[in-house]
Structure 1
Amino acid sequence: MGLPQAPWYAHYPSEVPKTCPYPQHNLAAFLVASAERFPDRTALSFMGKKTTYAQLLDAAYRFAGVLGKLGVGRGERVAIMLPNCPQLVAAYFGTLLAGCVVVMTNPLYVQREIAHQLKDSGAVVILTLDLLFRRVKEAAHELSDLHIIVTSIQDGLPFPKSWLYPIKARREGLDRHVSYGPRVHRYARLLRDMPPLPLHAEVDAERELALLQYTGGTTGIAKGVMLTHANLVANTMQTSLWFYKSKPGRERYLAALPFFHVFGLTVLMNQAIMLGGELILVPRFEAGDILRIIDKQKPTVFPGAPTMYIALINHPNVRDYDLSSIEICISGAAPLPHEVQERFEAITGGRLIEGYGLTEASPVTHANNIWEYRKKGSIGLPFTDTLAKIVHPDTGEDLPIGSTGELAIKGPQVMKGYWNRPEETERALRDGWLRTGDMARMDEEGFFYIMDRMKDMIIAGGYNIFPREIEEVLFEHPAIEEAAALGVPDPYRGETVKVYAVLKPGTKLTESELKAWCKERLAAYKVPRVYEFRSSLPKTMAGKVLRRKLLEEESAGRDHDDR
C-alpha cells in the first residue's frame, strides 16, 4: 500500500514498522497463548479478587461448552450486557472460542434499545446481571427462543464480600429477583456443571465475524458494525506496536472504560490479554474511587476519555494520592483539550496522548507518538498498515495538504460492513476507503487534526464553525471544568453558537465575563452568542458528550416557548 502523500512515516519511531504480518487466527488465540505463557499471572483484578490467566481460560472454556450445550451454533450471536467484571471477560473469550459472534450491549440501554439490538442481531443468548433482568425480560418478551443467562456482581467478588453482597443489596433496595426457568439460567451453576474441555474453533479470520458492535445511535437507529477476527487481531496488534516499550506479563491496565464500547474492548481487554497484562476492572467510573485505585494498585496504563481525565485533575483531593505509577494514557472517544493534557501530565508525570478511531475501524486508526515527537491538538499519525487522506465530502476528490475535508481511511482494521444494511455499507466503504464523516486536515509532516463531525459543524451566517475550536478556548479559562459548543437555530444567521459550561467547584463566572474571554481569542463570527451554565453535561458511559441530548433539550425548550 502506498500513497503519493504519506509524510507521516518520517515521524514513526524506529521501533514501529510501516507494515506488519497479522496472524489469521481466532481472536481468542491471544488468551490461549497468554495462559500458556503466564498461567499464574493475574489476568483480572476485581474488587479484591484475583483471577489468573489459567483460571480465566478455564472459565472461557466452560462458557464455550455452555453455549454448545444450549444448542448455540457456530456464527450465531451471543449478547453480553454487563459492566466491567470477570464474567464479561470469560464470556467474551468463551463465545469466540466456540466460533460464535459477540454482541456487546450497553447495560444502560432501556427496553426499546435492548429489543432493537436483540432483534436486529438475531441474538440467541444474552448474558446479563440480576439487577438488569427485569428490563431484559421485558425487552425479550417477543423472542421466545432467546436464552437468558443471569449472573450477579456477587459471582465475581472475593469472600467475605460475596457473602455480604446480598445484605448490602437488600439495604439499598436493589431488585435482584430473577424468574429462573427452561430458558433463564444461572451463570454460576452453568459454569460449575460444565467441564473446562478445550474448545478452540478454527475460523476464516478475514470472513468470519468476531464482533457485532452497535454504533451509539446518536444520529438515529443504531447500526451493527461487522468486525471480523482479522479486523480485531490487526487492531490489537497495531495498538501494541505503537506501545512498543510495553513489558509483556508486567503491565497493569486500569479498565475504567467500559468494555461494551469498542475503544475499551480493543485498547484495554484485547491488548492487555495479548500482552499478558493485568486488567484492573472498574464497573463504574467515579473520580474518588479511581484516585484510590491508582494510589493502591499502581496501574501503569490508563486509556480513557477526556471527561475522565477532567474529573481527576479537578478532584479536590487529587494531590493526596500517589499517581506516579501511571506511565501511558491514551485518550479517545472525544477531543482532548490542550489544557487537560498538560495538567494531567504535570500531576502524574505520565504521558497522555490523543488518538482517534471509530467503531467501523475496530476502532483505532491514529495516535500521537508516546515517547517521541508529537503535536498537541493533533490526533497524531496513521497506524502501521493504515492509510489516511483528506477528501472532498461531496465529490470524494483528494484534497491537498493543509485543506480541510472528510477523513478517509484504509487498513486491515476497517470493518466488513454494516449488518444487513448493504446500501449504508456502500455509502461508507468506497473503493476500500472508509469515509468517516469527520472533518479533518493533515499538515506537511503527516499529523492529522480532527476539526469536527460533519454533522456537528455549525454554519452561521454562511461561515463554517467547528465546535472543537471554541471548546479549546473555553477549556483554557481557569473556571471552566467542562464545556460543549453547538449550533442552535437562529432566524437571521441560520444557526448561532451556544455554549454549555460547567464551572469548577468554588469558582464564579458570568456570561459577560465568558463572552469577553471568547472575544479576545476567537474571530467575531465564532464568538458564542448564547451561554448556559449547568451542573453537568449529559454523556455516554464512554465519556462522550451527548450533543443530541442537548439539542433535544433545546428543541423542547423552543417548543414550550412557542406555546
Structure 2
Amino acid sequence: MVYQQKPWLKWYDSKIDEHVSVKYASLYDFLEDAVKRFGDKPAFTFYGKVFSYNETKAIVDRLSAHLHSKGFKKGDRVAIMLPNSPHYIFALFAIFRLGGIAVQVNPMYVEREIAFVLEDSGARYMFALDAFYPKVKKVQADTYLKHVVAIGFGEKIALAEGDKYFEEALQTPVTVEEAPINPFEDVAVLQYTGGTTGVPKGVMLTHSNLLSNFNQVCDAIYNACEDVPESFKMITVLPMFHVYGLSSVALCGLREGANQIVLPRFDVAEVIETVKREKPFIFAAVPTMYFGLNSQPELLKEAGFDQLYFVGSGGAPLPVEQAKAFKKITGASIMDGYGLSEAAPTVIFNPPFVPAKEGSIGIPVQSTIVRIVRETEDGEYVDVPVGEAGELIVKGPQVMKGYWNRPKDTEEALKDGWLHTGDIAKMDEDGYFYILDRSKDMIIASGYNVYPREVEEVLYQLEGVEEAIVIGLPDEYRGETVKAFVKLKEGAVVTEEEILQFGKDNLAPYKAPKAVEILAELPKSAVGKLLRRELRELELKKVQA
C-alpha cells in the first residue's frame, strides 16, 4: 500500500495541490479562455511572422467554418500531416471546435504508413504540407479521404479539384456553432503508436485527458515560480505531431500566455542561435537533441541556457553522462521525465522545485498514482517492496480512453483502471522513480518508438526473405539504432544493400534499419520461436568488447 500513500507528495511545493484542477469544458473552451486573458499578446512567432492570441482564434474559427462547409460532422476524423508551425495549432483547434478528432500523422511517414493511418482512422479530411501532397494523393483512392487543405510556405503547386490551399479555406463566409463536448467521453486526438503485433494503434485521448495532462505539467512548472515574466518566450521545437511536443509544450505555452518561437525542425545551430537571440524562459527537448547540442560545445556554451528557468527532457531515457556533459558546458541542469502516448503523455518528471537525483525520472504529477508491481501465478498484480524492480503501472485522469477499434488491445493495456506500461522501474524511499528497462522489445530511436515486429513485417514483404529479426543497439547519437538480421530463402539472391534500400522505401527514416546482417540460420527456441533477445545479447557483447 506504500504507493497509494503517495510518498512523493512530501516534495510538492505548497503552491502545488495534490489534485489537478481543470476548469475548462473542452479544448476549444480552453483556447477561448486563453484568448480572453492574453488578447493581442503574441502567441506564435514563425520566422518573423507573429500571430496574436486574438488572431489565432479568428483563424481557427474561419477554418472550422470551411470544414463545416464541406459536410464535417461531430466525431469526424481529420488527419494533420505538418511540421511544426502555427498552422498546426490553427488546424487542431478548428477540429476541436467542431467536436472532431485530430489524427496525428508523422511527416516522415512513407506512402504505406500514410495509407494505413488514413484507412484505420477513417479520416475524411486532411491538413497537409504541400510538399507531402503528392504522397497523400497517391494513396487517397484506398482511403476514406475526400478533402485536403494544403499548407505551403513557398511557391504554390497545382491541387486536385475540390482541394484548397489554407489561405483559400479561410475565405469561407460561414459562421458555425461550437459543438457540445463531453470532455470525459469525446475523443480529441488519435495518437498513433507502434504495436507489438506490428500494427500501429490509435491511442484515443479525450478532451479531459489532454486538459488534465498539460495542466498537471503547467502547475508543476509554473505555479511555484514567483517571477514568471509577464511576457515570456519559449522555443517550440519538439514536434507537435507527437503528444509530448503538443501537450507538454504547445498547449502549456497557450495556458501561460507565452510567445512560442516555433521551429519546424531541430537544427543544432538554429536552436543555439534562437536561444541566444530570444532568451526563452523554458526549453524542452528529447535526448537526441541534447546529444546534438553537446556536439557543438563552443557554440553551446555561449547560448545562455544557464539563464533559463527550466530545461526539460523526455521521450526516451536521458543518459546520465549526456546530462552531465550538458551541465558542464552550459551550467544548466536537464530535468528528466517519463511518459507515454497512452498517458497524454506525462506521468512522472522532475519539476523545478524538486531536488534532482542522478538517474531519476522524478516524481508523479498531480492526481496520479504510480505503482511498481509483479504478477502472481494466479494473475493478480501485487506491489513490490520499495527499492525493488517491477512493472510500472499508472492511474490518473490523463490515462487514455483506449485504442481506436481495438478492444482486445485496450483490455490488455487497461486492467481495473490501471495502465500497464510494460516498463520495468523502481521507487526509492523518497518517492523518486527510476526506469530500469523498457518494454522488452521496443526500440527508442531518436526519441521515437520503434516496434521490431512492424519493421520485420515490412522486411518479410521483400521477395527472398524467409526470416527476419530486428533489434535495437546502443547508438551514441540516436540512443538506439535499428539492426535487422535476415535469413534468405533457399536459392534467393538478395544483398544487404537491397534490404537497407527496401527499408528506406517502405518505412519512416527512424524505423528503417541502419544495418543488416544476412545469416544462414536465425536462433530459435525448441518450439521454433525466433529468439530476438539472444541475438541482442550477442550483439551487445560485441559492442562492449
Q: Report Cα offsets for 1:441-473 as digits up to 9, x if no partner.
A: 11111111111113149xxxxxxxxx99xx9xx
Correspondent of 2:169 among 190, 194, 197: 190
Match of 2:437 in 1: 452
What letter matches 1:28 in structure 2? Y
- Range that drifts further, 370-379 or 392-401: 392-401
Match of 2:488 in 1: none
1:553 aligns with 2:524: no
Report the Cα offset of residue 374 of structure 1: 2.1
Residues 53, 198 of structure 1: alpha-carbon distance in 2 compared, 3 angstrom cutoff: farther
Match of 1:442 in 2: 427
Separation of aligned partners in 2, 1:234 and 1:67: 27
Q: Report Cα offsets for 1:274-317 as digits up to 9, x if no partner.
A: 11111111111110111111111221111110111111122153
Kindly indicate whether the alpha-carbon contact (under 8 Å) linking 2:393 and 2:421 is maintained by their aligned counterparts in 1.
yes
1:208 aligns with 2:208: no
Separation of aligned partners in 2, 1:230 and 1:148: 28
Report the Cα offset of residue 253 of structure 1: 1.7
Correspondent of 1:306 among 287, 298, 303: 287
Residues 145, 111 of structure 1: alpha-carbon distance in 2 compared, 3 angstrom cutoff: closer
What letter matches 1:50 in structure 2? V
Correspondent of 2:407 among 390, 402, 422: 422
Separation of aligned partners in 1, 2:3 and 2:362: 18
Separation of aligned partners in 1, 2:477 and 2:93: 42
TM-score (norm 1): 0.77
Mapping for residues 400-419 of structure 1, pairs under 5 Å: 400-419=385-404
Q: Which runs of 5+ in 2 are unaligned?
A: 446-451, 453-468, 479-507, 524-545
Q: What secondary structure does 1:28 align onto? A: helix
Separation of aligned partners in 1, 2:2 and 2:325: 38
Match of 2:157 in 1: 177
Q: What secondary structure does 1:71 align onto? A: coil
Match of 2:348 in 1: 366
Q: What secondary structure does 2:108 align onto? A: coil
Match of 1:141 in 2: 141
Separation of aligned partners in 1, 2:474 and 2:438: 18
1:344 aligns with 2:329: no
Separation of aligned partners in 1, 2:248 and 2:145: 34
Kindly indicate whether the alpha-carbon contact (under 8 Å) linking 1:78 and 1:125 is maintained by their aligned counterparts in 2.
yes
Report the Cα offset of residue 128 of structure 1: 0.3
Pairs aligned (count): 466
Report the Cα offset of residue 433 of structure 1: 0.3
Report the Cα offset of residue 336 of structure 1: 1.0
Report the Cα offset of residue 177 of structure 1: 3.4
What letter matches 1:134 in structure 2? P
Mapping for residues 526-537 of structure 1, pairs under 5 Å: none
Kindly indicate whether the alpha-carbon contact (under 8 Å) linking 1:418 and 1:425 is maintained by their aligned counterparts in 2.
yes
Residues 194, 289 of structure 1: alpha-carbon distance in 2 compared, 3 angstrom cutoff: farther
Report the Cα offset of residue 178 of structure 1: 3.2
Report the Cα offset of residue 217 of structure 1: 4.8
Separation of aligned partners in 2, 1:386 and 1:343: 32
Separation of aligned partners in 2, 1:145 and 1:341: 44
Residues 380, 150 of structure 1: alpha-carbon distance in 2 compared, 3 angstrom cutoff: same
1:228 aligns with 2:213: no
Report the Cα offset of residue 144 of structure 1: 5.9
Mapping for residues 384-399 of structure 1, pairs under 5 Å: 384-393=366-375, 395=379, 396-399=381-384
Separation of aligned partners in 1, 2:395 and 2:265: 34
Separation of aligned partners in 1, 2:407 and 2:522: 42
Separation of aligned partners in 2, 1:358 and 1:456: 16
Kindly indicate whether the alpha-carbon contact (under 8 Å) linking 1:323 and 1:347 is maintained by their aligned counterparts in 2.
no
Separation of aligned partners in 1, 2:86 and 2:291: 28
Match of 2:543 in 1: none
1:273 aligns with 2:257: no
Report the Cα offset of residue 69 of structure 1: 0.5
Separation of aligned partners in 1, 2:426 and 2:198: 27
1:290 aligns with 2:271: yes
% of aligned pairs identical?
36
Q: What secondary structure does 2:400 align onto? A: coil
Report the Cα offset of residue 113 of structure 1: 0.6
Separation of aligned partners in 1, 2:268 and 2:213: 29
Coordinate RMSD, CA, aligned? 3.0
Report the Cα offset of residue 250 of structure 1: 2.6
Separation of aligned partners in 1, 2:520 and 2:101: 44
Report the Cα offset of residue 370 of structure 1: 1.4
Q: What secondary structure does 2:515 align onto? A: helix
TM-score (norm 2): 0.79
Residues 296, 84 of structure 1: alpha-carbon distance in 2 compared, 3 angstrom cutoff: same
Kindly indicate whether the alpha-carbon contact (under 8 Å) linking 1:310 and 1:340 is maintained by their aligned counterparts in 2.
yes
Kindly indicate whether the alpha-carbon contact (under 8 Å) linking 2:105 and 2:241 is maintained by their aligned counterparts in 1.
yes
Match of 1:241 in 2: 219
Q: Report Cα offsets for 1:237-260 as digits up to 9, x if no partner.
A: 100111124537533221111000
What letter matches 1:111 in structure 2? E
Kindly indicate whether the alpha-carbon contact (under 8 Å) linking 2:422 and 2:439 is maintained by their aligned counterparts in 1.
yes
Match of 1:82 in 2: 82
Residues 500, 400 of structure 1: alpha-carbon distance in 2 compared, 3 angstrom cutoff: closer
Separation of aligned partners in 2, 1:4 and 1:181: 58
Kindly indicate whether the alpha-carbon contact (under 8 Å) linking 1:209 and 1:226 is maintained by their aligned counterparts in 2.
yes
Match of 2:538 in 1: none
